[in-house]
Amino acid sequence: MRLPLVLLAVGAVVGGVLGVSATTGLIPRFLTPVVGRVKEAVSGPSEVVLALTSVVIAAVGIGLAAYVYASGRFDWQAMRLRWAGAKRMLQRGFYVNDVYNGVLVAPGQAAAAFLAYVFDARVIDGAVNGLGTLTRRAAAGGRRVQTGLVRTYALAFLAGAVGILWYLAVRF
């Protein structure tokens, strides 16, 4: 754990020296001939105030850690036990992922399972299978009509002509 913190600290120092910000430092000065001078943001505190605030907060944190761990005035192992609940809450990310899982993920998975295994199997597949059954029955009826004999087709033609004449007679 110490190596990542050291690498982050080195990166912060290098970024501070190079001036990785929008208005000050070596990088903005280097890019000024190409992109022009960047104006400082109008709203909010200036970069100097923000930088000083972060340095003060870091110094207070370092001082507090030195007071707790290095001074010997605190039993830091007992403190670990006393603050175990807070540590667990912080490690669990204030239980945001648990709430997110309970409110969104689990119901979404349940809805997806319902749609996949119930709705799809009964409604979608039922409609497709019903259409297939209807087509199969229509084809079975068509096989009985289509015998290949000319007299059967002539009889169907005669029935159609009589049906059309009957429709015209009833209509007028």
* DSSP conformation letters of 20-36: -SSSSSHHHHHHHHHH-
The pLDDT tens digits of the residues spanning 40-54 come to 666 778 778 888 999
Confidence of residue 13 (pLDDT cuts 50, 70, 90): confident
More confident residue, 162 or 78: 162
| pLDDT score at 41 | 62
More confident residue, 83 or 172: 83
Is the pLDDT at 97 greater than 90? The verdict is yes
| pLDDT score at 89 | 93
> What is the distance in angstroms between the CA of the first residue and the CA of the last residue of the chain?
97
* Single-letter code of the amino acid located at 15: G
What does residue 36 show for φ and ψ, rounded to 5 degrees?
90, 170
| pLDDT score at 44 | 77
Confidence of residue 101 (pLDDT cuts 50, 70, 90): very high
Q: Rounded distance, CA 140 to CA 131, Å?
A: 14
The pLDDT tens digits of the residues spanning 55-91 come to 999 999 999 988 888 888 888 788 888 999 999 999 9
| pLDDT score at 42 | 66
| pLDDT score at 23 | 67
Mean pLDDT of the chain: 88
For the record, the structure tokens of 153 come out as 């087709």
Q: Which range has the worst mean pLDDT, 8-17, 80-89, 125-134? A: 8-17
